Structure 1
Amino acid sequence: MTGGLDPIDRRLVLSTQSGLPLVPRPYHQLAEEVGISPAEVMTRLARMLESGAIRRIGAVPNHYAIGYTANGMSVWDVPDERIEPLGARVGALDFVTHCYHRPRRLPEWPFNLFAMVHGSSRAEVRDKVAKIAAVIGCDCRSYDVLFSTSILKKTGLRIGA
């Protein structure tokens, strides 16, 4: 095994690191490419997730391609002891694509809760951020919205063939 992956696991990682095939049954297509059953594809991917060999399997949409050209990271200053319940509530909102805790960098950066919001305009993003503010309520000491100004190519760590 090289790097903890057997040859089949390695082929699966190589086949999926740029994304799952955009077909109705992606695991079946992967199974054909790798030469194993769809059930084995799913079992192996689940095992690699469990072991930490891979971190996640998820969709990474191109927000610009689907019409979301305003992208705002909302940043919140909330009490540290409330970060878990507030983060769970904010992260559960259907328009928040990711939500996480980051350490403050005082005195310049008081924010400790981050929630990404996408919209077709900055006004739409601000409306969604107002809904987050309503969820956070009196626990919000301050917040801001940081709008994207350029598109970055998002890729994870890649292994070579």
Structure 2
Amino acid sequence: MTVTDRDIVSAVQGGLPMVAEPYAAVAHGLGIGEDELLARLRAMRDSGTIRRVGVAPNHYRLGMVANGMTVWDVADDRVAALGAQVGALPFVTHCYERPRALPDWPYNLFAMVHGASREEVEAKRRRIAGLLGDACRGHDILYSTRILKKTGLRLRRKEG
């Protein structure tokens, strides 16, 4: 990773500026052209240095005030295939398999669902249950009570 690449990551890791041309503003702040900035971001993505540049919405401000992590006890021999199907549902934002923590936690499939009401989330949970069918031996929903700050690794700009 070059010094310029590191500076780019440091400049965008907390979010893009809320302006009409955010990449141009970041590039200007770094003293490079917008085309160079975009080319370097693409190269870092293609090499695996960064995974993506994405949006992290505040679900509450979007009106999605009922947020439930659905948890499922799915037969081990079917969890991978069924998890892929659950993850492909348009209303599931996160879906992953995790080991059970027996005897207290029998769940091995997790799927995050958002809705404007708990009734909407429950309807989505029922759709997931229908997809899982008899491979599912139990389930629950853990509702969010507040938004937690979601951040990954943060780089610091090198001085000098």
Task: Give the TM-score category using the shorter length.
Answer: 0.7 to 0.9
- Residue 91 in 1 paired to residue 99 in 2? no
Q: Alpha carbons of 1:68 and 1:10: their partners in 2 closer, same or farther (altered >3 Å)?
A: same
* Aligned partner letter, 1:14: S
- Counterpart-to-counterpart distance in 2, 1:79 and 1:20: 42
Aligned pair in 2 of structure 1 residues 23, 138: CA closer, same or farther (>3 Å)? farther
SS of corresponding position for 1:80: coil
Q: What whole-Å deviation, never above 9, does each CA across 1:18-73 have from its counterpart, x for those lacking one?
A: 12334455434433333444443333223323434323322110001111111100
Computed over aligned residues only, the root mean square deviation of the Cα atoms, in angstroms, reads 1.9
Q: Specify whether residues 146 and 8 from structure 1 end up closer, same or farther in structure 2 by C-alpha distance, changes over 3 A only.
A: same
CA distance in 1: counterparts of 2:21 and 2:82, whole angstroms: 36
Q: Distance in 1 between matches of 2:89 and 2:82?
A: 11
Tell me which residue corresponds to 1:47. 43
Distance verdict in 2 for CA 1:102–1:32, change over 3 Å: same
Displacement of 1:109: 1.0
Moved more, 109-118 or 151-160: 151-160
- 1:113 is aligned with what amino acid? L
Please give the alpha-carbon distance, in whole angstroms, between the structure 2 residues aligned to 1:78 and 1:119.
Answer: 24
1:117 matches 2:113: yes
Find the counterpart in structure 1 of residue 150 from structure 2.
Answer: 154
1:131 and 2:130 are equivalent in the alignment? no
For structure 2, list consecutive stretches of 5 or more residues without a partner in the other structure.
none
Separation in structure 2 between the aligned mates of residue 109 and residue 7 of structure 1, nearest angstrom? 46
Does residue 65 (structure 1) correspond to residue 61 (structure 2)? The answer is: yes
Relative distance call for 1:133 and 1:24 in structure 2 (3 A) is farther
Identity %: 56
Structure 2 CA distance for aligned equivalents of residues 37 and 80 of structure 1:
51
Q: Do residues 82 (structure 1) and 82 (structure 2) align?
A: no
Greater Cα offset, 109-118 or 16-25: 16-25
TM-score for the superposition, normalised by structure 2: 0.86
